[in-house]
Amino acid sequence: MFRVVPGDPLSMYIDAGLGEEATEVLLQQYGLDKPILEQYIIYVKKVLRGDFGISFQYGKPAINVIGERFWNTFFLMITSLFIAFFTGIVGGVFLAWKRGTLIDSLGTTIILIVRSAPVFWTGMIFLSLFAFRLEILPLGGMNTPGTYFPNQLVKFFSIDFLRHLILPALTAGIYSAATPLLVMRTSILEVIKEDFIELARARGIKENQILFKHVMRNALLPTVTVFAVQAGLAIGGIVLVETVFRWPGMGREIVLAVAARDYPVAQTAFFLIGAMTVIFNLIADILYAYVDPRVVWN
C-alpha cells in the first residue's frame, strides 16, 4: 500500500544533482527498483527476520527508530488506560450512587461533553491552563531538555518524566474513561434491581457486602467489554495525544514519517501499532472470559 504513494519517495532524499548512475545505485540499495509484488514479498521475508528496513529520514534501521519510541508510547498508553479504568469504575459507582440528583445530571453531562470533545483539543485546553497559565506542568515533550539519566529505567521513574507524563496521560485517560463510566453507571443501576440482589438482602447479607461482592462484580461485566473496545480505539487516539504534547512515541512518529514519505518507519510503526491493537483485543477477550463464568472457551 505504501508504494502506491505518488511522488517518487527517494526524490526527497536524493539530491537532484546526483547523476543517473548514483540514483540507480541508491534505488537498488533500498530495493525500490524491483516490481511491487517482489518488493512486498521481500519485505515480508525481512520482517519475519526482524529486519524492517532502513529509515529514509534517519538512515538508521527503522526498527531502531521505532524501538526507541515504542516504550515511550507504551508507558503513556498503560498510564492512560489505568487512569481510564479507575476513573471509569469509581466515577460510574459515584454517579450511580448519586442517581437522580443534580450531581448525577451534571456529572453525566460533563462526561458526555468530554466524550464529544476531540481528544487533542482537550489536550490543548489542558496545556493552556496548566502549562501556560498556571505554569505548574511542562509544555510538552517527554523530558526537560538537558536532563541526563544514567539509564532507561531511572528515566521512566524520574519526577521529571512523571511531570511530563501527567497531562497527556490524563487527557487520553479521561477520554477513554467516558464511555465505560456511563456504562458502569447504567450497569449498576440495572443490576441493583435484579432478583438475586433482592434475595441476597433477604439472606441477611450486609448492604456493603452486597454492593461490592454482588452488584459491582456483575456491573463490571459489560463495563469491561466496553473498556476493552475503548482501549482498542485509544491506540488511534494516542496518535493525536502524542502530536499535541510532542510526546516522542510511535504515534507521533507515524505522522512524521508519513509526511516525510519515510516508508520503512511508517510501515514499521503501523505494523507495531496494529500488533498492539490485536494484542489488546485479545487481552480484552481473555479478561472478559475470566470475569464472566458463563463464557465458554472454544
For other proteins, the binding residues in 148-187 under the rule CB under 8 A are 179, 182-183, 186-187
Q: What is the DSSP code (8-state) at residue 296?
A: P
The reply on whether position 33 binds other proteins by CB under 8 A is no
- Concatenating the DSSP letter of every residue in 15-76 gives -TTS-HHHHHHHHHHTTTTS-HHHHHHHHHHHHHHT---B-TTTSSBHHHHHHHHHHHHHHH
Of 11, 54, 15, 5, nearest to 31 by C-alpha is 54
Nearer to other proteins, 161 or 230 (CB): 230
Query: Among residues 34 and 213, whose Cβ is nearest to other proteins?
Result: 213
Among positions 156, 233, 248, 287, the unique one binding other proteins when judged by CB under 8 A: 233
Decide: is 294 part of the binding site for other proteins (CB under 8 A). yes
Residues of span 194-223 touching other proteins by CB under 8 A: 194-196, 198-206, 209, 213-214, 217-218, 221-223
> What's the min distance (Å) between Cβ of 294 and other proteins?
5
Q: CB of 251: closest distance to other proteins in angstroms?
A: 8
Identify the residue among 14, 26, 32, 235 touching other proteins (CB under 8 A): 235
CB of 4 to other proteins, least distance (A): 6
Q: Which of 107, 237, 249, 264 binds other proteins (CB under 8 A)?
A: 237
**102 near other proteins, rule: CB under 8 A:** no
User: Count of residues binding other proteins (CB under 8 A)?
Assistant: 76
79 in contact with other proteins (CB under 8 A): no
Q: Which stretch binds other proteins (CB under 8 A): 25-33, 70-78, 149-157, 287-295?
A: 287-295
Collect all residues with Cβ–Cβ distance below 8 Å to 12 and sequence separation of at least 6: 56, 260, 261
Q: How far is the CB of 72 from other proteins (least distance, A)?
A: 16
User: For the chain, percent helix, then strand, then coil, each to nearest 5?
Assistant: 75, 0, 25
Residue 245 and residue 24: Cα distance in Å, rounded? 40
Contact 241, 125 (CB under 8 A): no
Q: Is 4 in the site for other proteins (CB under 8 A)?
A: yes
Task: Identify whether the C-beta of residue 243 lies closer than 8 Å to the C-beta of residue 255.
Answer: yes
- Closer to other proteins by Cβ: residue 159 or 296: 296
Shortest distance in whole angstroms from residue 36 CB to other proteins: 13
- In the complex, minimum distance from the CB of residue 217 to other proteins, in angstroms, rounded to a whole number: 5
- Answer whether 10's CB lies under 8 Å from 32's CB: yes
- List CB contacts of 176: < 8 A, sequence separation 6 or more: 80, 81, 84, 88, 227, 230, 231, 233, 234, 237
**Nearest one of 146, 140, 161, 119 to 246, comparing CA atoms:** 140
Please, which residue, 162 or 295, has the CB nearer to other proteins? 295
Among 50, 59, 145, 293, binds other proteins (CB under 8 A): 293
**Binders in 104-133 for other proteins, by CB under 8 A:** 112-113, 115-118, 120-122, 124-125, 127-128, 132
Q: How far apart, in Å, are the Cα atoms of 151 and each of 61, 64, 157, 165, 225?
A: 22, 17, 11, 18, 38
Q: Is 145 exposed, middle or buried (0-12, 13-18, 19+ CB in 10 A)?
A: exposed
**Cβ closest to other proteins, residue 3 vs residue 45:** 3
Least distance to other proteins, CB of residue 99, Å: 10
Name the helix (H) or strand (E) containing 243: helix 217-245
